[in-house]
Amino acid sequence: MNFVVLTIFPEMFDSFWAHGIIRKAIDQKKVSATAINIRDFTADRHQMTDDRPFGGGNGMVMKPEPLVEAIGAAKKNAGAAKTVLLTPQGRTLNQKMARELASIEELILVCGRYEGVDERICHEYIDYEISIGDYVLTGGELAAMVIMEAVTRMIPGALGGQDSAEKDSFSDGLLEHAHYTRPRNFEGREVPEVLLSGHHREIESWRMESSVMRTLLKRPDLLRNKQLNDQEVKILEKWLSEIEALLNLHHREH
């Protein structure tokens, strides 16, 4: 994967690329990443990247010409590159999109500032419009970092040996199970006994149950949109019958 970011703040990416799994992926040459300063593609003496909106109103709009020049420069080396505009009007990023983007050779991430980019950029020069969520950012830079992080984790081998990407939240449509480490007793709360037992099959089924029930309690929307497998149905039925038994007791007493 080759990431090329178009931005007026290229320095924002230096520390991002120098840490964690993205740093490792770059060191291992699984990923390359560069930031191109849109200002370098301005033609005027003042290197203006923004201008006043036609029709009036507050705020400024990103001029189309420097952006088009910068996209052209980014595509010089990889003509098949796909361009992504970070915008609240795009499709909201999810794990499936991250996985799909990871199979693309080169992504050019276009970061707007001000009120946004001139609308006419979108038709000819942008392949995907992506949002990272329904809230307002000041620029596309943080959104581009979020996309690069989520996509890099999906590149085979980028996560350091294990199959952690498959075990992660959302990979099977469920939240992850609860995690515990030492000490065994923390502020009076014990680690679940089964996790200390060394019974790998029991630990595996405890984790599956933890996953399903946490998803039901914290993100029921995820379960509603998921095709449940036999094991997940069994877990839900077990809890349903326990709840029914409790309610039966209650109703008999009242």
Binding stretches for ligand 4HQ (CB under 6 A): 86-88, 112-113, 116, 131-133, 135-137, 139-140, 143
Identify the burial level of 169 via C-beta atoms within 10 angstroms of its C-beta, where 0-12 means exposed, 13-18 middle and 19 or more buried: middle
Tell me how far, at minimum, the Cβ of 90 lies from ligand 4HQ, in Å.
7
Nearer to ligand 4HQ, 86 or 174 (CB): 86
Distance of CA 193 to the CA centre of its chain: 34
Nearer to ligand 4HQ, 113 or 153 (CB): 113
Is 50 among the residues known to form the active site?
no
* Nearest of 229, 218, 234, 227 to residue 169 by alpha carbon: 218
Is 51 among the residues known to form the active site?
no
Task: Give the active site residue among 65, 129, 149, 168.
Answer: 168
Nearer to ligand 4HQ, 59 or 157 (CB): 59
**Pairing mode, if any, of strands 61-62 and 189-190?**
unpaired
Tell me how far, at minimum, the Cβ of 113 lies from ligand 4HQ, in Å.
5
Task: Give the active site residue among 106, 113, 153, 232.
Answer: 153
159 sits in which H/E element: none
Tell me how far, at minimum, the Cβ of 123 lies from ligand 4HQ, in Å.
18
Give the CA-trace dihedral at 14, 119, 48, 42, to 10 degrees: 80
Nearer to ligand 4HQ, 112 or 173 (CB): 112
Task: Give the active site residue among 88, 129, 176, 219.
Answer: 88
**Pairing mode, if any, of strands 2-7 and 106-110?**
parallel
* Nearest of 106, 226, 220 to residue 171 by alpha carbon: 226
Nearer to ligand 4HQ, 7 or 211 (CB): 7
Contact by Cβ (8 Å): 3, 109 = yes
Task: Give the active site residue among 40, 100, 105, 115.
Answer: 115
Tell me how far, at minimum, the Cβ of 137 lies from ligand 4HQ, in Å.
4
* Secondary structure of residue 228 in the 3-state scheme: coil
> Rounded to the nearest 5 degrees, what angle is found at the Cα of 187, between the Cα atoms of 183 and 190?
55
Is 168 among the residues known to form the active site?
yes
Tell me how far, at minimum, the Cβ of 88 lies from ligand 4HQ, in Å.
4
Q: d(Cα 3, Cα 149) in Å, to the nearest integer?
A: 11
Q: Which residues are catalytic?
A: 88, 115, 153, 168
